């Protein structure tokens, strides 16, 4: 509001000076013509200058509070939840830009005591209660504790219609049973020994669980830049595996899809697909008027 009023003042002041000079040069102008010219000129500068101000000041300076998730629905879905499904196709050019330090990631080491072959669909690492307590994120001061992280291939989300090689989901749950999921897209490129380490410890049989009890650094799975990301309100994407799945999943879920990607070598990807042979990703869901935001950090 302050910026808008300031723009109006600048527009009016400029117009007043412009027309005063014009009046001095043409003293024969009629009072009626002068008023008309003043009105037209004032409106012109007001609309053009103030419109430019509005266009360059639409960026938000805090995390959008309207998409901080509330307690999740897993049945009897309200229409708002049923129509707000994940994953989606993200179009960066249409995203609403904002600047925020949220989410704050408090991730570190966990003990690998539950490395699970999830029904032959994907690799899922369950986090113990003590590790969950020590590994969490905060969004607008609200705390979400990590409960598991798991893999999808191809990616579930797309950027401008393009799939990544894989996608890692870090599922976090707050005390009020609301969900926030961090998504790391993975493209083929440099090797990542931490990914290879996880894949090597994956059970090969469906529903089997391996407990190596070794320490694993979660930060090794994230891109170096975690300040830039896309965020929106959506739903869970599992357990409805399959590219044709259209079944409603629980929601609302606050999603954070990092703009920068992690990398994986072709050999490491082949290790994973040697165990999990069928892609497991849900089909892209309609946006249905939802807003997608893009954080550029501070």
What whole-number distance in Å separates Cα of residue 58 and Cα of residue 56? 6
Over residues 110-133, the pLDDT tens digits come to 999 999 999 999 999 999 999 999
Helices (H) and strands (E) in the chain, counts: 6, 18
Please tell me the predicted confidence (pLDDT) of residue 148: 98
* Per-residue pLDDT tens listing for the chain (298 residues): 333 333 333 333 333 443 444 444 444 444 444 444 434 444 343 444 444 444 334 678 899 998 999 999 988 889 999 999 999 999 999 999 999 999 999 999 999 999 999 999 999 999 999 999 999 999 999 999 999 999 999 999 999 999 999 999 999 999 999 999 999 999 999 999 999 999 999 999 999 999 999 999 999 999 999 999 999 999 999 865 555 556 789 999 999 999 999 999 999 999 999 999 999 999 999 999 999 999 998 7
H/E run at residue 150: strand 142-152
- Do 220 and 99 sit in the same domain of this protein? yes
- Do 182 and 277 sit in the same domain of this protein? yes
- Do 51 and 77 sit in the same domain of this protein? no
Q: Flag whether 60 is in a domain.
A: no
- Do 37 and 76 sit in the same domain of this protein? no
- pTM for the whole structure: 0.81
- Among residues 223, 225, 233, which one has the least CA distance to residue 96? 233
- Do 241 and 186 sit in the same domain of this protein? yes
- Do 92 and 220 sit in the same domain of this protein? yes
Token pair for 42: 């004032």
- Do 76 and 207 sit in the same domain of this protein? yes
- Do 107 and 206 sit in the same domain of this protein? yes
Number of domains in the chain: 2
Structural domain of residue 48, as residue ranges? 2-55
Give the domain CATH number at 83.
Answer: 3.10.200.10
- Do 50 and 149 sit in the same domain of this protein? no
Token pair for 30: 């009629």
- Do 164 and 25 sit in the same domain of this protein? no
- Do 130 and 266 sit in the same domain of this protein? yes
Please tell me the predicted confidence (pLDDT) of residue 240: 59
Q: Flag whether 276 is in a domain.
A: yes
């Amino acid at each position: 509001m302050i910026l808008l009023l300031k723009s109006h003042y600048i527009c009016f002041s400029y117009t007043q000076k412009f027309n005063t000079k014009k009046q001095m040069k043409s003293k024969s102008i009629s009072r009626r013509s002068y008023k008309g010219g003043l009105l037209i000129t004032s409106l012109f500068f007001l609309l053009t200058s103030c419109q430019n101000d509005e266009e360059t000041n639409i960026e938000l300076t805090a995390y959008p509070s309207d998409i901080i998730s509330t307690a999740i629905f897993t049945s009897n879905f309200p229409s708002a939840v049923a129509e707000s499904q994940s994953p989606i196709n993200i179009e960066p050019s249409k995203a609403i830009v904002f600047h925020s330090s949220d989410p704050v990631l408090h991730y570190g080491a966990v003990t690998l005591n539950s490395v699970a072959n999830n029904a032959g669909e994907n690799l899922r690492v369950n986090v113990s209660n003590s590790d969950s307590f020590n590994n969490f994120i905060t969004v607008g001061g609200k705390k979400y504790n990590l409960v598991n992280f798991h893999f999808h291939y191809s990616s579930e989300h797309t950027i401008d219609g393009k799939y990544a090689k894989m996608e890692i989901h870090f599922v976090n749950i707050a005390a009020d049973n609301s969900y926030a999921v961090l998504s790391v897209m993975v493209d083929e490129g440099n090797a990542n020994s931490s990914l290879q380490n996880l894949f090597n410890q994956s059970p090969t049989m469906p529903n089997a669980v391996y407990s190596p009890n070794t320490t694993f650094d979660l930060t090794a799975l994230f891109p170096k830049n975690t300040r830039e990301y896309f965020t929106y309100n959506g739903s869970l994407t599992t357990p409805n595996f399959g590219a044709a799945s259209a079944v409603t999943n629980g929601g609302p879920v606050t999603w954070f899809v990092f703009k920068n990607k992690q990398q994986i070598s072709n050999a490491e990807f082949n290790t994973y697909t040697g165990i999990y042979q069928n892609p497991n990703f849900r089909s892209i869901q309609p946006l249905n008027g939802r807003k997608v935001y893009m954080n550029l950090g501070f």
